[in-house]
Every structure is written in C-alpha cells, then in structure tokens.
Amino acid sequence: MYELIQITERSYYIQAPAKVGLVRLNDADVCLIDSGSDKDAGRKVRQLLDANGWRLTAIYNTHSNADHIGGNKYLQGQTGCRIYAPGIECAFTRHPVLEPAFLYGGYPCKDLRHKFLMAQESGAEPLTEEVLPEGFGLISLPGHFFDMVGFRTPDDVVYLADCLSSKETLEKYQIGFIYDVAAYLETLEMVKTMQAKMFVPAHAEASGEIAALAQHNIDKVWEIAEKILGICGEPLCFESILQRLFFEYGLMMNFEQYVLVGSTVRSYLAWLKDTGRLTASFEKNLLLWERV
C-alpha cells in the first residue's frame, strides 16, 4: 500500500484505498490529484515526495469525499501547496462537516463526525480550467457527488475519481454511493466512449480500456432500480424500503451504512419518481412510495 506506480513519463498514481494521482510538472515540481484519506495518508505521500526530491505545488481535488481530501490539511501545512476543488465541492472541502450533515439530513451525531465521513478543514480555492497546469484537461463527472471532476494529463492519462467501481467492490458493497442517479448514468455513458493511454479510477485497477467496466456499473444501477421497484409493489415508507434492501443484499446496518446507503436510496426514489415509475403519497403522516 502507498506504492508509487509510474504510468507514463510524467503521470503516476499512489496505490491507496482511494488512489492518489501524481503528475510531474518539471524535474522538481509535482501536483497531486486528491490526497488520501487522512493525516497518515498525507504523511505517507509526503515521504514519497521527499524520497524523490519533488516539491508539491498543488493538490487538485476531484471531489470532497473525506477519503479524497483527508490528506489536504497535513500536506498543505507541510509544503504550503495550494488546494483546489470544483464547484460545491470547494465549500465541502473548506467546511467538511457539510458531508455528514448532508448525508444525515441534519446535525450529525458523534457516530458520524469522524475521519471516514469528515476530513479536517483545508484552505481550498475554486478549481477552474485557468488554475490547471499547462496541458491539463478538466472532465466533468457529476453523479457520484455534486460537482465531481476528473483530469486528463498532457501525456493522455485520465484520472476518473469515483465515477465507477471495480466489480469486486460492487460485489462486496452492492450499493455504491450515488447523489444524482440520472447524472451518474449520463457520466458513465460518456466514460464508455472515452479513449486514453490509461484510465485511473480511484476504486478500480488502472486500465487502458474502460468501457466494459463502465457498462458493468451501469448494469448495477439498473439492477438496484429494479430491486427498489420490486420492493415498492405496495406502499412503503423509506425506512421499510431501506430495511428490505439491506436484507435483499445481505448488508449489515450501522450509522455509516445507514447514511451512505440511505442517502443513495433516497436519490433512487427521487429519480424513479421524476421518471414516472414511482408515486409518492402522504398517508397518516407517512410518506409512502409505490410502483406505478
């Protein structure tokens, strides 16, 4: 773990639970794409930088999930690097309590205010094409989170953040986190058509071919949608739908799974309602969902 893997002359990634991209800008300067899950991850990244005599100039965050921005504060404090994050993600990066608060739908209890869901604050600035190194391309990848992006480097390596997961990850967790299901499917359809020298997803193996894995992720979305529609053959409240999904997939409930899977299921319900496949009604002060 935390091994530095070279892809091309200038592009690398650091093998970690959520891969960290590294691109050499010249002989001395490098930038990172994301920073790892916490201070310890940041320290290991710093050790790799020092071992190679590289100076960190900037961290470009793909999105604001804690496992992608957790090393920001440590690395910025150690190196003085600048940090950039896209759109709404910039606010979440500057104020990380927004992530567990958003997931829970209110002030998060202590069980949710930890490094897995809430990174340390860091001084992020808005990410735009103008602040990218020369030759870099910014790729919009909405769906998994609000304004997630990826990057194409000058030597044609594409860092895809969390827009898809490995087959093994999907098999283990079954229901991956999605904020906007419609946007997520559109992103995956776009990714299917992309060409690059190498693709580096954060939670799948780097590969020169991505279409088949993108399709596998698309198929999983539709599988889960059909499961929800099947469950909603009778009017049910959200908690009952969530409980039945956990039983269907053999998942175990805890606070983290409740908010991560729960938020995703709410997104599925909204999408299925907006596309005319579910109805919502209020009965005896309960919001009930039913298949059309």
Answer whether 202's CB lies under 8 Å from 141's CB: no
Q: Where are the domains of the chain?
A: 4-221, 222-291
pLDDT value of residue 231 = 98
% of the chain exceeding 90 in pLDDT? 100
CA-CA distance, 231 to 248, in Å (whole number)? Answer: 10
Q: Mean pLDDT over residues 130-144, rounded?
A: 98
pLDDT band at 235 (very low <50, low <70, confident <90, very high): very high
Mean per-residue pLDDT over the chain, rounded: 98
CATH class belonging to 222-291: mainly alpha
Answer whether 144's CB lies under 8 Å from 177's CB: yes
**Residue 272, SS3 per DSSP:** helix
% of the chain exceeding 70 in pLDDT? 100
List pLDDT tens digits, range 4-32.
Answer: 999 999 999 999 999 999 999 999 999 99
List pLDDT tens digits, range 34-83.
Answer: 999 999 999 999 999 999 999 999 999 999 999 999 999 999 999 999 99
The two tokens of residue 175 are 């229901």
Give the strand order in the sheet containing 4-6: 4-6, 11-14, 20-24, 29-33, 55-60, 82-85, 124-126
Q: Mean pLDDT over residues 106-132, rounded?
A: 97
Asked if CATH classification 3.90.870.30 holds for the domain at 4-221, the reply, yes or no, is no
List pLDDT tens digits, range 178-200.
Answer: 999 999 999 999 999 999 999 99
pLDDT value of residue 122 = 97
* H/E run at residue 243: helix 238-249
pLDDT band at 242 (very low <50, low <70, confident <90, very high): very high
List pLDDT tens digits, range 257-268.
Answer: 999 999 999 999
pLDDT value of residue 83 = 98
**Residue 36, SS3 per DSSP:** coil
Q: Which has the closest alpha carbon to 11: 95, 133, 162, 142?
A: 133
List pLDDT tens digits, range 263-289.
Answer: 999 999 999 999 999 999 999 999 999
CA-CA distance, 244 to 237, in Å (whole number)? Answer: 11
**Residue 19, SS3 per DSSP:** coil
